Structure 1
Amino acid sequence: MTEIKIRPIQKKDNPKVAEMIRYVLVEQGAPKVGTAYEDKTLDQLFETFQKERAEYFVLVEGDNILGSAGISPLENGDSEICELQKMYFDPEARGRGLGSQMMQKCLDFARNQGFKECYIETLPNMKAAQKLYLKTGFEYIPERIGDTGHYSCTVFMKKII
């Protein structure tokens, strides 16, 4: 069995990660506007996360990138709040407990960076993702905070870390 690793993104991962995320968004029936699908940063995640208190992780099995997620300060938000960004998993990765491992890696990083809360936005139909967030201690909040640019995402959640 091939070893599964979670590691920081490398520049060479950019095309595979962008392709995987777009595939998952299409598979989930997500709108292509107002979501990560049209983010200019999607093709440059390595470069985008080269800033203070930010990291983007990839879940790798052999040469395959099966998932990814990042932590970054919340744009136009409180400096103690980070955002869990672009957490997506290839269908091959689902149901294996890998989402929980990725979540733990991200939240540990956030805690080590001094963040006190973590925020996430998602789409109403992404029920499996919401189930993972709830299991990890996220709670629904009534309105958007910060400025993610994902106006099609209408489910807002936050967790004290």
Structure 2
Amino acid sequence: MLQIRPIERRDNAAIERIVRECLIEFGGNREGLAWADDSLHDLYTYYNSAENRAYWIVEADRQVLGGCGIAAFDEAQGICELQKMYLSSSIRGQGVAAQLLDQALAFAKQHYRKCYLETLLTMEAASRFYTKHGFNRMDGPLAGSEHYACDAWYIRDLHN
């Protein structure tokens, strides 16, 4: 049975492996993307170091199958970022991503006005998913983006 729960320290290696596998699958294993993020080795500490950050794990039978996080992007403007939303290929297309997104956005609404995300055009299913769930495509990144290799950007108002 699938479960969505907050990240625990023991999840670090498994979720890093899933993120890296997904990035390799879609050509994202390079600088300028999540691949090179310092926090990728210890998502537990990163997402538990501030009240307005969180990360959720999808697991079945104690096996980590994916996850996603929320963290501040531009606190002054009330904008957070949906981060590191990756699922193992074995559970894609089963509605788990929608459940995970709902969890993340419910948290985001408590702290922010808008949710931003960056991705790759090669992740076509993800782009369709984000559009279906109320994210609007942008022409370019928001100022302050560290992922200069991303080529698709989305934003969503959290209170409409």
Question: Could you say which TM-score interval applies, normalised by the shorter chain?
Answer: over 0.9
Q: Which amino acid aligns with 1:64?
A: Q
Could you tell me how far 1:79 is from its partner in structure 2? 4.1
State whether residues 56 and 68 of structure 1, in contact with CA within 8 Å, keep that contact through their aligned partners in structure 2.
Answer: yes
**Match in the other structure for 2:60:** 61
Corresponding position: 1:155 with 2:133: no
**Match in the other structure for 1:49:** 47
**Match in the other structure for 1:101:** 99
Distance verdict in 2 for CA 1:148–1:10, change over 3 Å: farther
State whether residues 20 and 29 of structure 2, in contact with CA within 8 Å, keep that contact through their aligned partners in structure 1.
Answer: no
Identity of aligned residues (%): 32
**Match in the other structure for 2:113:** 116
Instruction: Name which of 131, 136, 154 aligns with 2:133.
Output: 136
Instruction: Name which of 80, 89, 92 aligns with 1:91.
Output: 89
Which whole-Å CA distance do the structure 2 matches of 1:11 and 1:22 have between them?
Answer: 18
Could you tell me how far 1:55 is from its partner in structure 2? 0.2
Q: Which stretches in structure 1 are left out of the alignment for 5+ residues?
A: none
Q: Which amino acid aligns with 2:40?
A: L
**Match in the other structure for 1:14:** 12
**Match in the other structure for 1:127:** 124
Q: Which stretches in structure 2 are left out of the alignment for 5+ residues?
A: none
Corresponding position: 1:25 with 2:23: yes
**Match in the other structure for 2:72:** 73
State whether residues 77 and 145 of structure 1, in contact with CA within 8 Å, keep that contact through their aligned partners in structure 2.
Answer: no
* Deviation >4 Å, runs of 4+: none
Could you tell me how far 1:147 is from its partner in structure 2? 2.5
Aligned length: 157
